[in-house]
Structure 1
Amino acid sequence: MEKKVIVKIKDLLKKHNISLRELSRLTDIRHAALSELSNQKRENINFGHIEKIADALQIDDIREIIDLIDR
């Protein structure tokens, strides 16, 4: 079965009680790029973005940010 990587932006926003715009400000990642990640519209993931999100939200476990699911 084929796998897909999911970036759990919506879960992070809810857990940390922040908006996408606030996450954009905290991470210095374009709002549009975060929106695309949030809506699973991106085919490629920038690891620099994942690192910035982890730093901004003080996340130590990458599994809080990304997941691997069956398509």
Structure 2
Amino acid sequence: MSMLSRYVIINLKNLVESRNISLRELARLSDIEPSIINKLSNNKHERISLRHIERIAEALEIDDIREIISIESH
């Protein structure tokens, strides 16, 4: 019996590229520490704060959280 691993993926790099802004600018717009934005964008996070996802959604004017976060199986 094999266990499927699931990973939460944060899609910040593509989002900021498509909006022609930097991760630093996203940090400023969302009022989130640049180091946290960097960890999220590189998928090096141990935890994900829903408040951070809300702030990112507000900053990027995103209505559907699936544009920011997804779950992948490996």
Q: Place the TM-score, normalised by the shorter chain, in its bin.
A: over 0.9
Segments of 4+ in structure 1 off by > 2 A?
none
One of 19, 24, 29 as aligned partner of 2:22 = 19
Tell me how far apart the structure 1 counterparts of residues 51 and 28 of structure 2 sit (CA, whole Å).
Answer: 15
In our comparison, the structure showing a higher alpha carbon Rg is 2
How many residues in Structure 1 have an aligned counterpart in Structure 2? 71
How far did 1:62 drift?
A: 0.5
How far off is 1:6 after superposition? 0.4
Query: What TM-score do you get using the length of structure 2 for normalisation?
Result: 0.92
C-alpha RMSD over aligned residues? 0.7
TM-score, normalised on structure 1? 0.95
Partner Cα separation in structure 2 for residue 20 and residue 46 of structure 1: 17
Q: Which amino acid aligns with 1:3?
A: R
Q: Are 1:4 and 2:7 counterparts?
A: yes
3-state SS, counterpart of residue 18 of structure 1: coil
Q: Percent identity?
A: 51
Aligned pairs (5 A) from 1:1-71: 1-71=4-74
